[in-house]
Structure 1
Amino acid sequence: MSRIGKKPISVPAGVEVKCEENLVTVKGPKGTLSRQFSKELGIEVADGVVTVTRPTDDKEHRSLHGLTRTLIENMVEGVTNGYSKTLIIEGVGYRAAKKGKEVVMNLGYSHQVIVAETDSIKLDVPQPNTIVVSGIDKQEVGQFAAEIREKRPPEPYKGKGIRYVDEHIIRKEGKAGKGKK
């Protein structure tokens, strides 16, 4: 039995979970999320607890069991607290500024890089070298943050570029670091 899949999901106060033919809809203070899950799995909502069951111990059912439970838990967490990713911009002259619903970044290119907010993703620039991506869908927040990081990934020699706040860049030695033969 999946250790993750068999754990029940407790639904906090103010959050409403509905399941009709494995279409799970979670409504909370931050918004509403819905997702269709496999028809083979059983999803039950009762007394503020969501449980996921699987019909057999087939490999496919076992893999879907833990995944489905985790996705539902992420939906509940998203509508209550939301998710956010923080990006750090490092480099001389590299910076970001928020103008309306857009973030304008100077990343060492001959042009400015502009990224716009969407309906579900909010961008914030508390400092010129920090961007905070936030929203209620964990997958969407992570994807949007990855797309911003892709504009100028960190390079290994000086560490210049856009990186996650908890990301460690492994540095390389330059030419001067090599020994003579």
Structure 2
Amino acid sequence: MSRIGKSPITIPEKVKVDVKPGSVEVTGPLGRLVQALPPHTTVKVENNQAKVELTGITPEEGGALHGLARSLVNNAVTGVTQGFKKDLEIVGLGYRAQVAGDKLTMTLGFAHPVEFKLPAGIKATVDPKQTQVAISGIDRYLVGEVAAQLRRLKPPEVYKGTGIRYAGEHIIKKAGKAAAGAAGAVGGAAKK
């Protein structure tokens, strides 16, 4: 049996959890989320606590599903009460971002600006310097996916470190050719 799956989920006062076959609908102050459940799992709600149970499968076989289902429901409850946020940094000369409605427009060193349409339920904010982007929403998966898609537009370059990175992400830089050593020191004897 999963240790994570066994622990009950505390449901705050302003949150309503409706259990449906194969899914759970969680409604709270920030919005409504419908979370699909893995097979062989059900959720029971009583006394402001939700508990995930396995059905038709032994605890040894379904331990991972048990923990997964509990984490998914817990993330839904956290999302509708507090929300989730992912911060990105844009590093590079002339690299910047702007938000207009549901479009995030970025200048990333290409010959054209890159436009990214934000999906429903996702909000982006840009700091006054236009180099910090905050992605927020109630669905943890969607917030992480949008942040990853934005990072993929211009991943950090290994020599200078320019590009889009997560806030606080450490980029391991490579030494350039000039810093690698004297000519001929690596790779065999010098040519005659």
Q: TM-score range by the shorter chain?
A: over 0.9
Q: Which amino acid aligns with 2:153?
A: K
Judge which range, 151-160 or 36-45, deviates more.
36-45
Aligned to 1:107: 108
**1:175 counterpart = 2:177:** yes
Judge which range, 119-128 or 61-70, deviates more.
119-128
TM-score with structure 2 length normalisation?
0.89
Aligned to 2:190: none
TM-score with structure 1 length normalisation?
0.94
The offset of 1:123, in angstroms, is 1.1
Larger radius of gyration: 2
Query: What SS does the aligned partner of 1:4 have?
Result: helix
The offset of 1:102, in angstroms, is 1.7
Aligned to 1:18: 18
Query: What SS does the aligned partner of 1:71 have?
Result: helix
Q: Which amino acid aligns with 1:28?
A: G
The answer to whether the Cα contact below 8 Å between 1:103 and 1:114 also exists between their aligned partners in 2 is yes
The offset of 1:63, in angstroms, is 1.1
Q: Which amino acid aligns with 2:85?
A: S
1:92-131 equivalent positions in 2, closer than 5 A: 92-127=93-128, 128-131=130-133
RMSD over equivalenced CA pairs, Å:
1.3
Judge which range, 68-77 or 97-106, deviates more.
97-106
Aligned residue pairs, count: 180
The offset of 1:98, in angstroms, is 1.9
The offset of 1:122, in angstroms, is 0.8
Distance 1:51 1:90 in 2: 44
Query: What SS does the aligned partner of 1:150 have?
Result: helix
Q: Name the % identity.
A: 43
